[in-house]
A and B are shown apart, each in its own frame.
Chain A
Amino acid sequence: MKRFKELTKGIMRENPILVIMLGLCATLACSTNANDAFGMGIAFSFVMVGSNVVVALIRKIVPGQIRIPVFIAVISTFVTIIDLSIQAYQPLLSRSLGVFIPLIVVNCIVMGRAEAYSSKNTVLDSFLDGIGMGIGFTVIITLIGIIREILGEGTITLSLLGLKDKINVVEGIAGLINNFAAAVGLGNIHVAPDWYPSVLIFILPPGAFLVIGFLMAFHHRLFPKE
């Protein structure tokens, strides 16, 4: 049961974005649409799990004086592996995430977990911690991406999950209202497909702060601190 907690704490109680609030740079920059955000989440999770496991493995061999450079070497190796793999197999994602994949090297959550958790805990616990942190990060950054994309452009893109076309939420809502109106005999009510004026600020950097702020408030309401 305690093990299970190691896994779930990263998802909600100690969520890396909403509670630990480290490494927000990548969260802000890569959440302009759902697809980029999800891709960033996966890349981050890979690095998180890999570095946590390796750091836990070598925690007894590495002397304290040089642990930081060794951790950074471990992290940057995993980052370069995922960077090259994305370039090779998801070239379009690599194009839109650009420099933010290599920048995971200096992401404070990864470094923070290595220093604060996996350098003091067993391999299995560190692995579970990494998975939990990865899931927590991916879920929240994707949620931010979805909210920003809907408010800013009226669509949801998730080609990584096999959705070829964008989901046009704005048109979908208009269609629903029109169908409903027709069904209950209010045929003269008609909503134009482009009824929603995209709110540009949500895909610009300030929009990310707004969305994260509201999510943090919501999270705080669900999981109040003692």
Chain B
Amino acid sequence: MKDFIKLVGILFITGAIAAGSLSAVYQLTREPIAEFAKQEKIVALKEVFSSAKDFKEVRTETMWEAYDGQTQLGRVFLTETAGYGGPVKIVFGVNLQNEITAVKILSHTETPGLGAKIALPAFTAQFAGKKADSLALKKDNPAAGNLDAVTGATISSRAAVRGIINALKDSNNGNPAREGSSK
């Protein structure tokens, strides 16, 4: 019994010291971590809608209205869709003429060297200036398609296109942007 109390006591002290030192580190690092998350979002929004100065969050974490002073220039969306290796997070802007301003892949877990190339400008730059309701891969729609898929990564490319289309569809139906189904 005495032994038992000693063991519990030592474990308790170990845990207490660990927890104490960790809470100190947490206090120190909390600010920079939160600051980076905030900065990163603003940078991403600016990157896909460079002409806008302010962004007003319309729907938490998924939709912003882009402003230059008082004039609304368009909207920015953040959406998540199922890729080949996991969720693909996409941020993109649409101006008032319903044209895509730019697309940026925020995070993904696609295959390095294949699907991961959807995050490179060679793929994402194709979207700029395209009508938001006309997006389609040439591979899926030879007649009306206007986007080249990444070689060897059709599923990842499709996911990116589908994510954008679904986010827009949802916003027009008044539903919050959500992960798209497979069609």
Report which A residues bind B (CB closer than 8 A). 32, 61-63, 65-66, 69-70, 73-74, 76-77, 80-81, 84-85, 87-89, 91, 95, 152-153, 198, 200, 203-204
Contact = CB atoms under 8 A, between A and B. Distances in A.
A212 B111 CA distance: 21
24 contacts: A32-B112, A62-B10, A63-B6, A63-B7, A63-B10, A69-B11, A69-B14, A74-B14, A77-B18, A77-B22, A81-B21, A81-B22, A81-B25, A84-B25, A84-B26, A87-B33, A87-B36, A91-B36, A91-B40, A152-B112, A198-B113, A200-B113, A203-B112, A204-B111
A39 B40 CA distance: 21
A63 B11 CA distance: 10
A152 B113 CA distance: 8
A74 B22 CA distance: 11
Q: What band does the interface of chain B fall in when counting residues whose beta carbon is under 8 Å from A?
A: 20 to 34
A70 B29 CA distance: 25
A84 B29 contact: yes
Nearest to B37: A91
Contacts of B26: 84
Contact of B11 (A70, A84, A91, A198): A70
A73 B20 CA distance: 12
Contacts of A203: 112-113
A59 B107 CA distance: 44
Contacts of B107: 95
Contacts of B144: none
A66 B114 contact: no
Contact of A204 (B10, B36, B40, B113): B113
Contacts of A61: 10
B32 interface: yes
Contacts, number: 61
B15 interface: yes
Contacts of B112: 32, 152, 203-204
A66 B10 contact: yes
Contacts of B7: 63, 65-66
A85 B29 contact: yes
Contact of B114 (A85, A95, A153, A200): A200
A80 B111 contact: no
B113 A153 contact: yes
Interface in B102-118: 107, 111-114
Contacts of A152: 112-113
A23 to B, nearest CB: 22
A159 to B, nearest CB: 16
B11 A74 contact: no
Contacts of A89: 32
B117 to A, nearest CB: 11
B25 A80 contact: yes
A62 B26 CA distance: 27
Nearest to B7: A66
Contacts of A204: 111-113
A204 B114 CA distance: 10
Contacts of B32: 88-89
A77 B33 contact: no
Interface in B63-99: none
Interface string B19-46: 0011001101101110010001000000
| Top 4 A-B residue pairs of the complex, sorted by shortest distance between their CB atoms | A88-B32, A88-B29, A77-B18, A84-B29
A152 B112 CA distance: 10
Nearest to A204: B112
A80 B11 contact: no
